[in-house]
């Protein structure tokens, strides 16, 4: 696939595989859109890509993948500026050893590694289809080989459960499907 002039979104581009992917696609002439949590890191990467590849078609946009609202805002802002998306690379991933919750009350690993790429892809799927031939690439790690899924890790906290029942210890929780 010739990617010169094709629009590509890469999540997790400020480090690791995402950074190398961004450099490679820029060298091949793609127009990059980089959703980043830290605009400071994003702007530094943008400068580095431009300096090393000569590709000036690099755009940094704010997006916190731990926030469903931020993902929605990113997708809306992207659509306002772009009418095509040829490559979506869902590369961002985290591994939190201690339980943390996203702003949405979802366990952080689950929110960023699973729900974020699902939501982003679904918000952009029609523009991807309209840009055919287009590709969606989901990058994953081997961390699942070292971990086990505990349903308690997939818990979505809620304000309360109807009927006042508390099937889990403090605070009241509602389980999401994790099987």
- List, for residues 73-127, the tens digit of each pLDDT value: 999 999 999 999 999 999 998 888 888 999 899 999 999 999 999 999 999 999 9
Token pair belonging to 113: 């590694």
**Band (148; pLDDT cuts 50, 70, 90):** low
Of the chain, the end-to-end C-alpha distance in Å amounts to: 37
The confidence score (pLDDT) of residue 165 equals 46
Query: Which domains are assigned to the chain?
Result: 7-144 (3.40.50.720), 148-179 (no CATH)
8 has pLDDT over 90: yes
Token pair belonging to 115: 């729900």
Query: Could you report the per-residue pLDDT of 49-74, keeping only the tens digit for each?
Result: 999 999 999 999 999 999 999 999 99
162 has pLDDT over 50: no
> Which residues does 46 contact at the CB level (< 8 Å), separation at least 6?
34, 58, 59, 60
The confidence score (pLDDT) of residue 113 equals 92
């Amino acid at each position: 696939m010739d990617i010169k002039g094709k629009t590509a979104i890469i999540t997790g581009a400020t480090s690791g595989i995402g950074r190398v992917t961004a450099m490679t696609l820029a060298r091949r002439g793609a127009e990059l859109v980089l959703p980043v949590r830290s605009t400071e890191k994003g702007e530094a990467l943008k400068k580095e890509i431009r300096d090393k590849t000569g590709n000036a078609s690099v755009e940094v946009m704010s997006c916190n993948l731990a926030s469903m609202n931020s993902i929605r805002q990113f997708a809306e802002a992207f659509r306002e500026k772009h009418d095509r998306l040829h490559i979506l690379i869902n590369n961002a991933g985290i591994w939190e050893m201690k339980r943390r919750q996203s702003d949405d009350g979802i366990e952080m690993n689950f929110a960023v590694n699973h729900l974020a790429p699902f939501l982003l892809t679904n918000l952009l799927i029609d523009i991807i289809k309209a840009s055919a031939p287009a590709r969606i690439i989901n990058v994953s790690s081997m961390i699942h080989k070292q971990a086990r899924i505990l349903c308690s890790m997939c818990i979505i906290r809620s304000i309360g459960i109807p009927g006042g029942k508390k099937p889990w210890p403090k605070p009241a929780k509602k389980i999401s499907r994790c099987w």
